[in-house]
Amino acid sequence: MNADLERLIVLQRLDSAAHDAQQRLAGQPELERSLEARLESVRQAVADAKLRFAENQSARRLIEKNVATSQGRLSKFRDQLMAVKTNREYQAVQKEIEVAQTEVKEMEEKILERMLEGDELAAAVKRAETELAAQQKASEAERRAMDAEVAELKASLERIGSERAELVRAIAPPVLTMFELVARRRNGVAVSEARNGICTICHVRLRPQVFNTVLRNDQIIQCDTCNRILYFSPAAPATTPDGISQSAQ
């Protein structure tokens, strides 16, 4: 294979790997925001559950306060009942007692309802807090994985940069200039495999004489349509079940 062509194939692989790494690094902030949004959603669920529980407890305390007030009135009416002198007064006070007793009964039923509701809300708070703890643990694990990936990607980019710098020094300047020009015009992809008479990137059929030249891999040939530098990758020889190449049999 032509030495510069071979180097260009490796250079393209390095540039593609660097592009992928850069894209993944660029996507890290969005992943972080998504992770934080999920965590914030669970935090909000805990806050909402606690708020509903607090409202329940506040409403219950208010009813209990009203019960105490009604019971005070009821006690007062009972004292008055002992001091009345006429039947009419007795009936009036008795009516007040009945009203107060009804109020107390209704409020005590409401207190019971609030207590039952409070038990459910307390359980909801506990479930939400358990979910938050689980989400926080999962988020911490994801962040550690993301940090490790970022470190790995940065190390990979540094390694690729070093390999690329060494490689380009060995490529003939005109060939490197051609590669970089095509790469700028073709979204960073300047090299394409030719297979079955077709450029595998632009998918346009090559002229037979062009493809026949590409098959030899002995010179720099560009696709007539996309201008990418073409190469041919021979198929690996088929092997038998015992691992011996058929061509060797």
Q: Give the closest residue to 188 by CA, choosing from 24, 25, 11, 27.
A: 11
Structural domains in the chain (count): 2
Residue 219 in domain = yes
pLDDT for position 247: 40
Residue 62 in domain = yes
Are 68 and 107 spatial neighbours (Cβ–Cβ below 8 Å)? no
Domain extent, residue 25, equals 19-169
- SS3 label, residue 195: strand
Same domain, residue pair 58 and 92: yes
Same domain, residue pair 202 and 159: no
Residue 40 in domain = yes
CATH number, domain at 158?
1.10.287.1490
Same domain, residue pair 218 and 110: no
Q: What are phi and psi of 231, to 5 degrees?
A: -145, 160
Residue 4 in domain = no
- SS3 label, residue 236: coil
Residue 84 in domain = yes
Same domain, residue pair 157 and 187: no
Residue 14 in domain = no
Alpha-carbon gap, residue 32 to 12, rounded angstroms: 31
Are 178 and 7 spatial neighbours (Cβ–Cβ below 8 Å)? no
pLDDT for position 244: 43
Q: Give the closest residue to 47 by CA, choosing from 138, 125, 119, 115.
A: 125
Kindly list the averaged pLDDT for each block of 10 residues, start to end, along the chain of length 249. Answer: 96 97 95 95 97 96 93 88 84 88 92 95 97 96 96 97 96 96 96 96 96 96 97 70 42
Give the end of a domain, one of 141, 169, 197. Answer: 169
Same domain, residue pair 115 and 186: no
